[in-house]
Amino acid sequence: MRIGTPREIKNHEYRVGLTPAGVRELTAHGHEVLIETGAGLGIGISNDDYVAAGARIVETAAEVFDQADMVVKVKEPQPVECAMLREGQVLFTYLHLAPDPKQAQALLDSGCIAIAYETVTDRSGGLPLLAPMSEVAGRMSIQAGAHAMEKAAGGNGVLLGGVPGVPAADVVILGGGVVGYNAARIAVGMGARVTILDRSLARLNWLDIVFDGRLATLYSTRDAVERCVNSADLVIGAVLVPGAAAPKLVTRDMLPKMKTGSVIVDVAIDQGGCFETSRPTTHQDPTYVVEGIVHYCVANMPGGVAHTSTFALTNATLPFVLALAGKGYRQALVDDPHLCAGLNVHRGQVTYDAVATALGYAYVPAATVLAI
């Protein structure tokens, strides 16, 4: 198979879909790899590094899309990239389609086979291709929030960990999954007073054991969320419904009751955000203020630490890339139901239920389009 990786073009996105190590693995299995010139420069990988691993460098993204049987990326294809996709071409990347009707329609119109990192599953019910970036985003959320709390950044001027004689900040984390756990690790480590809310009693019990009483756990109800955010200096939105739009846990009406200058970091923004007032921002212009509350809603947070993120992501995606390339997409999906869960769009049909429900499309099961 011929696999292509273009340079990412989303604002301040420096990650890359394949590393030289991945190229070497693919070429050792007899595949051809095309890399757009400069694709890895943002994390210090040169064209020469790719060539030494066996890749062929092409000058434009158009050449990648024109020649590749499968395109391996990081972020969802931008409109100019969607326009280059063709019928029967495999796209393997993050998609986050539920809150993005324009991208969904563009993928459907292209006739491509779009497999989303964020809905690939594993035997334990986890999301192995989302987890590495959730770990990064969770840890970043605290450092981003701590910076936004500084007075010069528009925040309330509270130091996250406090100092002797002055209380630490109150941090509230909505969701105890991978993002929430990693956010809590950093916040607790910095000395903040942390409360984490979730609807899984088993998860809350696990968190209580892991943190040995160093944070508070609460069962998530509307009342509990409202009480906690009212007293918080920093709120982390870490909820996830796989493939679906995030639920709106904090409404606009709650904001006037919050502390002026407090900060919310919406890690769920890729899935539409879990704060009613959230809208996507960029690393270049990451925050805005609504009702005196600072909102940080960067839609590609892990791109800010692109070196770490690229290697963490490609370590997880490479086995699936090898399977898709080695078997062809159809056989790879038939053989692996966990990879098959990643199939969101197939030749003009929506094959992921949560996406179809969110966007109003007819849902066609993957088993039907693959004739399993």
The pLDDT tens digits for 348-371 are 999 999 999 999 999 999 999 998
Active site residue 100: no
Question: How far apart are the C-alpha atoms of 111 and 60, rounded to whole Å?
Answer: 22
Averaged pLDDT, 343-347: 98
Q: What is the pLDDT of residue 257?
A: 97
Question: 270, 295, 336, 346: which is the annotated catalytic residue?
Answer: 270
Give pLDDT, residue 7.
Answer: 98
- 270 in catalytic set: yes
Give the pLDDT confidence score for residue 242 in this predicted structure: 84
| Residue 36 phi, psi dihedral angles, 5° rounding | -65, 140
Using 50, 70 and 90 to split pLDDT, how confident is the model at 44?
very high
- What is the average pLDDT across 175-198? 98
Above 80 in pLDDT, residue 218?
yes
- pLDDT for residue 125 is more than 90: no
| Average pLDDT of every residue of the chain | 97
**Catalytic residue from among 31, 96, 295, 346:** 96
Per-residue confidence at 244, pLDDT binned at 50, 70, 90? Answer: confident
| Percent of the chain topping pLDDT 70 | 100
pLDDT for res 243: 82
The whole-number average pLDDT for the span 293-316 is 96
12-34 mean pLDDT: 97
Give pLDDT, residue 240: 86
The model's confidence at residue 54, banded by pLDDT at 50, 70 and 90, is: very high
Mean pLDDT to the nearest integer, 283-294:
96
Q: Is the pLDDT of residue 38 over 80?
A: yes
Give, in degrees to the nearest 5, the angle at Cα 47 between 55 and 31. Answer: 10
Strands annotated E in the chain: 2-5, 32-36, 56-58, 70-72, 90-93, 113-116, 170-174, 193-198, 216-219, 234-237, 263-266, 287-290, 293-296, 343-346, 349-350
Q: What's the whole-number mean pLDDT along residues 151-175?
A: 97
